[in-house]
Chain A
């Protein structure tokens, strides 16, 4: 397993990025050089320097420290949203695919309804209806994200359920519960797991987007999307105020994507 990760440079890069993000989030107070929210009007809009690695914003807050603390917020959003939508989506997908018939129709039509809205619009309306806050953004994103897992898992379950090893288990007298959760689901999880890893990045991106338009994290929270939003007015004077939060988002999404692609190969038992 370890050798397989290290033999693929891109997967390794993804893993390193994700590890850096995790370590940053865990040790934010140690890594940050300043307080993320402390206003220091005397040193506002300073360019990057040895004192302020990424410069300061319009009220003199240290951008590097804000990004470091922002890692915690983004990671929490990504993990929680995936942790909520993944089990809901996979269980519904497994049931729909295995039982079939009316149950399948019912679950999949609901899924279609959710999928027929552009995700970000649906999330916007939910977040707007519930009121702008980071918790509501997470709820909104979870509500738009689960149907993808339902689709993916359903289709893998469908292809597996007619295979001979499932029939062999029926011939052995295994009950449907055992067949679904012990034989089918472990084989059906790989594509959904890969999707979940990719989604960690996309959820962070979407949350940043919602924060950017003012529906998510509220100032003075050091959320990356909110930081971008604040700094767009001072882009001409202080390029660093927008550039570094943007790079943080890029870096994070890239890391989870590379790792997700690598998992694709790693989760194939034939290559173990």
Chain B
């Protein structure tokens, strides 16, 4: 049984516009199905606005999903009451993108890390203290830094504090929403390696959201490529990177720098911008920018098909 099984998840937002308050529906997540196995990492890639962060938030029910099913260890999450949700939150945690915004500037690191234990009423005061000190060393900070405020740390250190906070409750799954994209490249690798170490040690599963293809390749077992709220390609990381089946994935991968000056690369430059998710194109959402698009593409919504064993893509031409 998969640790997390998401089926046909939709997250629609209603936006009021204009003087008369006309309503527009934004389909941030539009029928996404993914699974994450115990101890594995699923990478989610896509450009800004494709709904990857909304997907993470609706799985945690930080935003209530509109439709679809989320099963965690086989249990349906969407219908859970507040009490059940609170229990579930011990097992599913989130790490945010901006380490400058995700820590309360008025609380010391000790207070920030202790909060999860207090919220769930875990341990005595001394036990909590001990646990905080243990974990803070695990993420590479010193005990005496616990009394410092977030602004006294660097971006990388802050992000490690954010990871420590997510780990306090010993969750099974961590949804990492662009955890390294706000960091310098040199610091990115530190944080990524820390995440990989922790995964080994605590048998964690990650859902790793990023727009950085190299980072996703480094950390993931499986990759899902999202475009306008839909998964357009999903498979094992090697398969997707070696043989992308969707033209969008191909375009993304062609922009990856390769450290080999002799290798001739054909770059696929996409025309235009990402269409607005409040007014998506007909048929295949990608047809407005796709170099392979034909007339049918504007009419048929391509299903996610198994192109080769274990490799799914949503394109009628490949």
Binding site for B on A (CB under 8 A): 163-165, 167-175, 178, 183, 186-187, 269-270, 272
Name 21 interchain pairs, CB-CB below 8 A, sorted by A.
A164-B98, A164-B101, A167-B57, A168-B96, A168-B162, A168-B165, A169-B115, A171-B93, A171-B94, A172-B89, A172-B115, A172-B116, A172-B119, A172-B165, A173-B85, A173-B90, A175-B119, A178-B119, A186-B106, A187-B105, A270-B151
Residues of chain B within 8 A of A269, CB atoms compared: 105-106, 149, 151
Interface pair A173/B102, CB less than 8 Å apart: no
Q: Is B86 an interface residue (CB 8 A)?
A: yes
Residues in A neighbouring B85, C-beta threshold 8 A: 173
How long is the Cα–Cα vector from A173 to B93 in the complex, in angstroms?
Answer: 10
Q: B294: CB under 8 A from chain A? A: no
Interface of B is mostly: loop
Contact of A183 among B60, B97, B104, B120 (CB under 8 A): B104
Q: How many residues does chain B have at the interface if contact means C-beta atoms less than 8 Å apart?
A: 27
| B103 within 8 A of partner (CB) | yes
B62 contacts chain A at the CB level, 8 A cutoff? yes
B67-109 vs A, CB cutoff 8 Å, 1 = contact: the mask equals 0000000000000000001100110011011100111111000
Contacts of A183 in B (CB 8 A): 104
Give the residues in chain A near B96, CB-CB below 8 Å: 164, 167-168
- Quote the shortest CB–CB distance from A144 to chain B (angstroms): 31
- State whether the Cβ of B146 lies closer than 8 Å to any Cβ in chain A: no
CB <8 Å contact, A187 and B115: no
Expressed in whole angstroms, the Cα–Cα distance for A174 and B82 within the complex equals: 11
Is B192's beta carbon under 8 Å from chain A? no
- Is B169 an interface residue, CB under 8 A from the partner? yes
**Which residues in B have some Cβ–Cβ distance to A below 8 Å?**
57, 60, 62, 85-86, 89-90, 93-94, 96-98, 101-106, 115-116, 119-120, 149, 151, 162, 165, 169
Asked whether, in the complex, the Cβ of B101 is within 8 Å of the Cβ of A163, the reply is yes
Q: In the complex, how many angstroms separate the beta carbon of A271 from the nearest chain B beta carbon?
A: 10
Residue numbers in A under 8 Å from B149 (CB-CB): 269, 272
Chain A, Cβ-Cβ closest to B83 = A173
**A165 contacts B104, CB within 8 Å?**
yes
Please determine whether B103 and A165 come into contact, CB atoms closer than 8 angstroms. yes
A53 to B74, CA, bound (A): 86
Shortest Cβ distance from residue A272 to the other chain B in the assembled complex, whole angstroms: 7
Work out how many contacts link A and B, with CB atoms closer than 8 A: 58
> Which residues of the other chain, B, contact A171 by a CB distance below 8 angstroms?
60, 62, 89, 93-94
**Counting chain B CB atoms within 10 Å of each CB, which of A171, A270, A272 scores highest?**
A171
A sample of 14 more A-B contacts (CB under 8 A), given A167-B62, A174-B115, A183-B104, is A164-B101, A165-B102, A167-B57, A168-B96, A168-B165, A172-B93, A172-B119, A172-B165, A173-B90, A173-B120, A174-B119, A269-B149, A270-B105, A270-B151
Nearest 10 A/B pairs, CB to CB:
A173-B89, A164-B102, A173-B86, A164-B101, A165-B104, A164-B96, A171-B94, A172-B116, A174-B119, A186-B106
A164 to B165, alpha carbons, bound, how many Å?
13
Chain A's nearest CB lies how many Å from the CB of B145?
A: 15
* Nearest CB of chain A from residue B218's CB, rounded to whole Å: 24
The answer for the CA separation of A173 and B57 in the assembled complex, in Å, is 14
**Complex formed: what's the CA distance from A168 to B159 in Å?**
13
Residues of A within 8 A of B105 (CB): 187, 269-270
Chain B, Cβ-Cβ closest to A171: B94
Q: B119 contacts A173, CB within 8 Å? A: yes
> Which of the residues A168, A170, A174, A272 comes within 8 Å of B102, measured between beta carbons?
A168
Nearest chain A residue, comparing its CB with the CB of B96: A164
Which A residues are CB-close (under 8 A) to B86?
Answer: 173
- Min CB–CB distance B167 → chain A (angstroms): 12
Contact B151 A172 (CB under 8 A): no
B121 to chain A, nearest CB (A): 11
Q: Which residues of B contact A170 (CB under 8 A)?
A: 62
Tell me the complex Cα distance, A170–B104, Å.
13
Asked if B94 contacts A168 (CB within 8 A), the reply is yes
Least CB distance, A101 to chain B, in whole angstroms? 14
CB distance from B207 to the nearest CB of A (A): 13
> CA–CA, A236 to B120, complex, Å?
73
Q: For A184, give the chain B residue with the smallest CB separation.
A: B104
The smallest beta-carbon distance between B59 and chain A, in angstroms, is 11
Q: Which residues of B contact A164 (CB under 8 A)?
A: 96-98, 101-102
Q: From B82, which residue of chain A is reached at the shortest CB distance?
A: A175
